Structure formats: C-alpha cells, structure tokens
Amino acid sequence: MSALCQALARYVRMRRGFGYRYRDEERCLGDFIAFMDAAQATVITRALAMAWITQSQRTSWPNRLSAVRGFARHLSNVEPETEIPPAGIFPSPKRRHPYIYTEAEIERLLDATLSWGLAKGINRRTYHCLFGLLAATGMRLGEAIGLERADVDLEAGLLTLRVTKGGKDRLVPLHPTTSRALADYAARRDDCRICRKSPWFFVLRGGQRLRLQYPERIFIGVMRRIGLRDTEPRSTGPRIHDLRHTFAVNTLLRWYRAGEDVERLLPMLTTYLGHSKVRDTYWYLSACPELMGEAASRLEARWETAS
C-alpha cells in the first residue's frame, strides 16, 4: 500500500469520526490516488490535481475539486510541499428552479396515486403514503424509503432518519395527522403476512424494499395522468424532489406572514431539512418570487420604522 493510500485511509477515518459517511468521496479520492500512482507521483500538485479533475465530465469537476482540496489541506499538515488547488475555479452547476405545488395539486396527486396500478396488494397505499409523507415533512426520497420499522415511532410522532445525505442521523417530528396516516398505512401493510415480516416501513406487495427508481417512475406516471407533466417520453416538469422545495417555501412563507423572526428561525429549518449549511436554506429566498416579495416587504417596514 502506497503512502498516499495510507494517508487516505487515515483521512477517511477522521471524516467518518466527525459523523460523515464519506463513501462517494472515498471512492473519488481512491481514483485520484490511482491516477497519482500511475504518474509515479507522491506529492499532490495543482497540475496533477487539475489533470485528474478535467479528465472526467465537466459536471463532475466542482465535486472532484472539492474532494481533492479537502484531502490536500489535510496532507499539507504533514507534507509541506503539498499544493492545494484553488477554490472556485469551476462554477457549480445552476440549481434547477423549483416547482411549488399548490395544496390542490398535492391532493390531486395523492388521490390519483390511489387508483394507479393494480388494486390488489399494498403498492397503491405505499406510494400514496410515501408521497404524502414527503409533502408533509420535506424529507428526501432516499431518507423516506430508507426508513425501517424501528425508525418510526408513531406514539411519539417521531421519525429517526439514518439514511441521510450528510451521513448524520436526525429526528423528524410529525404532525398528528401525519402520524395517523402512517399508522393507518402500517395497519394495512401488516394485514399481509409477507409484508408483516419485512424490516422496512415502506414495502411493495412482496415485502421488498422500495428502490429509488420505483417511486420516481410511479410519480411521473401519475403526474402525467393528472396533467401536471407532458406525456412526451423525454419531457420535463415538476419533480418528486419539488415536494421538498414546496415544504421549505411554504414554511418560510408562514413565518413571514405570521410576523416571525425568520432569520432567527432559519437555522431550525436548516436542521429539520438536514442541510449541511444555512446558505442551502437561504437559497429558497432567491428561488421563490413570493418569498422575495415577503422579504422585501419586511425590509421596507424596517426602513420605515428606522426613519
């Protein structure tokens, strides 16, 4: 094992000790070290880093740069000749503008899901409850389908999320109506002997765990049926992830309209959504014109009071 491989192993252990899963980054940096070994290089240089970063697809350059910069900063503590690639040389891809669903559209989505596919089995109820949970909590799809039975405490109205983007467990409190809906689903699910034996909370009729592509495919089909997406095969339109955006935007709007101190409450929403940085939550203020209007009105009111 090369010295760089050993250094990477120590670095990954350190990152995981901070609570990060660090799986994709470990795989990425493993490729980088293989590139350096092939070049018979033992010290990271900007030239080597840029040569490796730019040999992939352009959309991956910002993430690869971020991974190498972190590793290089770590190595520079013990290897002074390590060169840290400069930050910000590759602009991050622009985030897609979110689609904000109305309450009526979400109700249509959920109603149509109950009539999608075979009437026999639990599948309809699974997708209906899954989409409803995403709309009610703003969870990521992967977080929801990763729920195990032990992660769902309906008496306390609390979910424990273990499959998260940042690799850190977090708790999600539920509204009583959401807890009741999940309890109803759980009872229907357990009426089936095969499903009752499954360790997963959301299951298909054979008791198997959902995979990401299943709810995404069903979601697109239902959205086309209710007219919220074009029927063309390659068409785009509102996504399942926009349920998360809708939850975040509506939460901020409620706070503004209730006269709450949004700047003080924003870190709470950041934690609830599982964002790693508050700036990821601030993004909604610029992504939604209605929020921009509320923020501008609040600012104007402060100026008038000050004057």
190 and 130 share a domain? yes
Residue 88 belongs to some domain of the structure: no
Whether 51 maps to a domain, the answer reads yes
Considering the domain architecture, whether residues 148 and 193 belong to the same structural domain is answered as: yes
Answer yes or no: is pLDDT of 182 > 90: yes
In a domain, 297, yes or no: yes
**Residue 114 near residue 302 (C-beta atoms within 8 A):** no
Average pLDDT over residues 19-48: 89
275 in active site: yes
Catalytic annotation, pick one of 244, 245, 256, 272: 244
Catalytic residue among 205, 209, 241, 298: 241
Q: Do 108 and 207 sit in the same domain of this protein?
A: yes
Both 112 and 219 in one domain: the answer is: yes
Annotated catalytic residue: which of 21, 165, 170, 225? 165
- The answer to whether position 191 is within a domain reads yes
Predicted pLDDT at 51: 94
Could you tell me if 116 and 216 lie in one domain?
yes
Q: What is the pLDDT of residue 210?
A: 93
Q: Are residues 160 and 188 in the same domain?
A: yes
Do the domain assignments include residue 161? yes
Both 146 and 175 in one domain: the answer is yes
Q: Is the pLDDT of residue 76 over 60?
A: yes
254: tokens are 């409620």
Q: Domain for residue 281, yes or no?
A: yes
Residue 274 has pLDDT above 80, yes or no: yes
Mean pLDDT of the chain: 88
- Count of domains for the chain: 3
* Sheet with 152-153, side-by-side order of all strands: 152-153, 158-161, 170-173
Q: Are residues 22 and 61 in the same domain?
A: yes
Specify whether 36 is located in the same domain as 128: no
> Which of 197, 225, 253 is where one domain is finished?
225
Mean pLDDT of 65-77: 92
What was the pLDDT predicted at 82?
Answer: 94
* Whether 23 is catalytic: no
Catalytic choice (140, 189, 229, 245)? 140
Asked about 284 being catalytic, the answer comes back as: yes
Residue 67 CB neighbours (<10 A): 20
Q: Mean pLDDT, to the nearest integer, of 1-22?
A: 84
Q: What is the pLDDT confidence band of residue 305, given thresholds at 50, 70 and 90?
A: low
Q: Residue 263: its pLDDT value, please?
A: 83
pLDDT at 298 over 90: no
List the domain range (segments joined by +) for residue 175. 103-225
Question: Does 288 fall in a domain?
Answer: yes
Element (H, E) at 71: helix 61-75
pLDDT winner (highest mean) among 81-95, 119-133, 293-307: 119-133
Residue 80 falls inside a structural domain: no
**pLDDT at residue 278, rounded to an integer:** 81
Amino acid at 264: R
